[in-house]
Chain A
Amino acid sequence: MKRQGILYCALALLFFCAGARAGTLDEVKARGKLNCGVTQGLAGFSSTDASGNWAGLDVDFCRAVAAAIFDDPSKVNFVPLSSKQRFTALQSGEIDVLSRVSTWTMQNDTALGVNFVGVIYHDGQGLMVRKKLEVQSALELSGAEVCTNTGTTTELNIADFFRSRSMPYKIVAFEKSDEALKAYEAERCDVYSTDASSLSAQRVKLAQSEDHVILPDLISKEPLAPAVRQNDPQWESLVRWTLFALINAEELAVTKANADKLSRADAAPGVRRLLGAEGDYGRAIGLDNDWALKAIRAVGNYGEIFDRNLGQQSPLKIDRGLNRLWNNGGILFAPPVR
């Protein structure tokens, strides 16, 4: 704890030193590329496709920001980071945006000199069971043996969940998540638990994946959010509103395919404001008024990005669940452009 304190002091000090830098947007424009921090490989969020290109939800968000600035989604320099490095890399200016499955917690938001711009994926810990158990909800799992991996909050969340409901349980913990999955497959336990976002990827690995169901319950909150440095409010707004624009685009049914047409057509006022045909909204974040059009044209709206990387068009086939729009049964909500 004490060492962490020192680390935070050091980071805070660096934050003050870095306070004198020029605007991030100007730096990015001068460099001609956006430096975007991603994972070192996580299915659906940032990994490589068959031809070795970066692909994933986090990756596409980087591309959207680059497209909003340069009108060219390829002007991104992806910087793969370990979870230990990620905030330091953001602090030191090595990256401009951290789009790396980082959980928005109070500690991360307040103690590290970074700001989270908004939730891009509502994750949480999920549970998988064999279909033949005929379990409908996590509340029926009293007395269950749970396979999970050691040393993560995963184990603690299980303990919290069962203890707070006075349900007996037994944890069978493994060093690696693949080992835990193998043990579950060999029926050494009744439940396999990990973050919902990777639960589907793990289920696909099972020999008879259709014999297993992912329960609808989430037993923890893991809101994943992109982050920026705290010292540049304009840049923070730019990144935040790029995310909001992608979500609003889905709500307004603006897609990669129809964005160009809608920006010229006599569309609804909300759509016209989003695409820069009406109002002067891009100016305030240092961009052209059609910044959102450029981003949507490049990567599509939030729903398209989700489907492509995590949803039905991807091998993962993750249900949108909480990540549906607020008017469609989910909690995904973006403030309006106006």
Chain B
Amino acid sequence: MTRADAPPPSLATSPSRRLLGRAVNAAVTLALGVALAIAAYGALSFLVFGAAWSGDVSACRATDGACWPFVAAKLKQFVFGRYPDDELWRAALAMLLPPALLLAAFLARRRVGLGGFAAAVLLGLPLSFLLVAGDGALLAPVPTEAWGGLTLTLLVSYTGIAASLPFGIVLALMRRSSWPVPRWLAICFIEFWRGVPLVTVLFMAAVMLPLFLPEGTSVDKLARALFAIAVFASAYMAEVIRGGLQSVPENQVTAGRALGLGYSQILALIILPQAIRSALPGIAGTFIGLLKDTTLVLVIGLFDFLGMIQLAAADPAWSASTTTLTGYAFAALVFWSLCYAIALVSAYLERVTAVGRR
């Protein structure tokens, strides 16, 4: 938390006074506390105390709690889908590569500069896809039908994230342009894609598109979904960036011109750094939303993390009344961890970039 988000000191009172000061406050605090305790007790007794921790399906049938042996037995499928056993390292590496490259570029930012960042982003994702898909020579090709689980969730999210930021910036700049043609193109694009639910876009891409294409041409279903998500995320990102751009006072452009800088220099050195910094919370929010939205690829028959969990819960060998619930609880846990990681990174970046402003 930066100092800027803390409440103004004049209104600050001690927490105990705010929670318990007046009778009404005390009553509300008590009621909420009891509700919280009941919910926590219910969750804990399902997830921990009443849960089956070892054994097989009969242990799960004997209890009302979570069925963790099911998660343990199916974990490989949850993470890798139906990816071939001998090649799992490729999927694992592909999941870690893009964030690892970004982290490396960030740590060495003084030495590699902006170019290093760009290289990390541009290289990381294609390398991941190459790893998972195989090149046919060194790595055996794996068809996209075998991709799945967390691998697919992350690859789809990475694509959305990597595509939305640059395209979002371009679209936001176009929308603020004084030339009518790019401005109206951007407005149409953004408003169209923002106005359509993602499920519809995915469904159109997966089901309707093949009907309109000429016979015999087939575009991979995953590729269609990736494209749909990239376009969708870019439209949202454009508006977030535009919000950031609006926070930069107009006279800074004038000041930049007065110093003899050109448009691209003003943009790269003055406007964008400030705009992106102030848009950071919104950008992180969009990324988190995107990560969760990727579960919608299930409707077009791709098995992402959540899809694999649902599929595994249908296995008759694990048929118990809490199997499905346990799967969902596990999915919630994993998604929350991933989203919280994004939030932490965003908070850290806010802190680092705010240094000059304090």
Contact = CB atoms under 8 A, between A and B. Distances in A.
Interface of A: 14, 18, 20-21, 40-44, 47-50, 52-53, 77-82, 85, 88-89, 91-94, 178, 181-182, 185, 201, 204-207, 209, 314-316
Contacts of B316: 43-44, 47, 201, 204, 314-316
A48 B321 contact: no
A136 B207 CA distance: 47
B208 to A, nearest CB: 8
Given A52-B77, A178-B321, A81 B301 contact: yes
B98 interface: no
Interface in B311-335: 311-317, 319-321, 324-325
Interface of B: 61-62, 73, 76-77, 81-82, 143, 145, 203, 206-208, 210-211, 215, 298-301, 303, 307, 310-317, 319-321, 324-325
A37 to B, nearest CB: 9
Given A41-B310, A181-B321, A206-B321, A48 B315 contact: yes
B197 to A, nearest CB: 15
15 contacts: A21-B215, A40-B307, A41-B311, A41-B313, A42-B314, A47-B311, A52-B81, A78-B145, A178-B324, A178-B325, A181-B321, A182-B321, A206-B61, A206-B321, A207-B62
B82 A52 contact: yes
B149 to A, nearest CB: 9
B315 A43 contact: yes
Contacts of A181: 321
A78 B312 CA distance: 16
Nearest to B85: A51
B319 A50 contact: no
A216 B200 CA distance: 43
A93 B213 CA distance: 11
B319 A52 contact: no
A201 B211 CA distance: 37
A316 B299 CA distance: 27
Contacts of B208: 88
A77 B301 contact: no
A43 B301 contact: no
Contacts of B206: 85
B301 A48 contact: no
Contacts of A42: 314
Nearest to B298: A40
B82 A315 contact: no
Nearest to A82: B299
Given A47-B314, A49-B317, A85-B299, 15 more contacts: A40-B301, A40-B307, A40-B311, A41-B311, A43-B316, A43-B319, A49-B315, A52-B76, A53-B82, A85-B301, A204-B320, A205-B321, A207-B61, A314-B316, A315-B316
Nearest to A85: B207
Contacts of A20: 215
Contact of B303 (A80, A93, A182, A185): A80
A204 B317 CA distance: 10
Given A21-B215, A40-B307, A181-B321, A48 B299 contact: no
Nearest to A205: B321
Given A43-B314, A48-B312, A82-B299, A315 B77 contact: no
B58 to A, nearest CB: 10
